[in-house]
Amino acid sequence: MGAAGEQERVTASAWGGGESPFAVPWTKLMMWLFLISDALTFAALLSGYGAMRLTAGAWPRQSEHFDIGLVGAMTFVLICSSATMAVAVGGARRGDRRLVVRFLALTILGGLTFLGMQAYEWTHFIREGARLIGFVSHEPALTAIPPMFSATFFVITGFHGGHVTSGVIYLLIMAIRAARGLYSGESIEVLGLYWHFVDLVWVFIFTLLYLI
């Protein structure tokens, strides 16, 4: 590069091309962009939930339908799996393959435990008479509940559970690849971004659907 080229490189803005304005690898940037769009989908679902809950006027007390202790345990498991994921990312950056595989396995275990508890919760709720279109029951107290109570519950926790399921599959693939030595610090970090995002969304679902 000559003196003129050097001059241009120094004066051109970071956005002029040929630079990396975010200073991250492209896979990481693409994952961030996907997560932003996914966050907006969840934001739309949760805004819709808020609007419908307000519009319904009366809303059942959540603790009468869900075991808050169980939901607390689900939150605990997901936070722990996020922490093990973070350690796996750190291990991958240090090239410690055994650590990566072990902590990815722990993260998978956390994800599967979460899904198991969610399946249990759904089963309990469905046996009570809850359906996507409202409650099907002989008890007037249940049929008086706004249909949106069970509808928003199934759609939002289902959409999140779908994310956990695809996350577990993603984790499995990457764990198998890591066990064969096919991984990089970058690929595990991008995987980590997805998994932490699933945890981050659960923070809001836990608060807005179960606690408020």
Contacts of 177 (CB under 8 A, 6+ apart): 183
Tell me the two tokens of residue 6. Answer: 């050097």
Segment interacting with other proteins, rule: CB under 8 A, options 111-119, 121-129, 130-138, 188-196: 188-196
How far apart are the C-alpha atoms of 174 and 161, rounded to whole Å?
Answer: 20
Residue 61 within binding range of other proteins, rule CB under 8 A: no
**From the CB of 138, what's the least distance to other proteins, in Å?**
26
Burial class (CB in 10 A: 0-12, 13-18, 19+), 112: middle
Taking CB under 8 A as the criterion, the residue among 6, 7, 9, 50 binding other proteins is 50
Segment interacting with other proteins, rule: CB under 8 A, options 17-25, 119-127, 148-156, 174-182: 17-25
Number of residues binding to other proteins, judged by CB under 8 A: 51
Output the CA–CA distances (angstroms, integers) from residue 170 to 15, 79, 104, 183, 209, in the order listed.
33, 18, 11, 13, 27
Residue 12 within binding range of other proteins, rule CB under 8 A: no
Pick from 174, 172, 167, 170: nearest CA to 199 = 167
Choose between 39 and 151: whose C-beta lies nearer to other proteins. 39
**From the CB of 123, what's the least distance to other proteins, in Å?**
23
Residue 70 within binding range of other proteins, rule CB under 8 A: no
How far apart are the C-alpha atoms of 52 and 163, rounded to whole Å?
Answer: 23
Segment interacting with other proteins, rule: CB under 8 A, options 44-52, 104-112, 114-122, 172-180: 44-52
Neighbours of 130 (CB within 10 A): 23
Choose between 153 and 206: whose C-beta lies nearer to other proteins. 206
Site string for other proteins, 131-170 (x = CB under 8 A): ----------------------------------------
Output the CA–CA distances (angstroms, integers) from residue 109 to 77, 128, 167, in the order listed.
9, 29, 12
The three-point CA angle 95-110-196 to 5° equals 65
Taking CB under 8 A as the criterion, the residue among 12, 44, 141, 182 binding other proteins is 44
Residue ranges binding other proteins (CB under 8 A):
21-24, 29, 32, 35-36, 39-40, 43-44, 46-48, 50-52, 54-58, 68, 72, 75-76, 79-80, 82-83, 85-87, 90, 93-94, 189, 192-193, 196-197, 199-200, 203-204, 206-208, 211-212
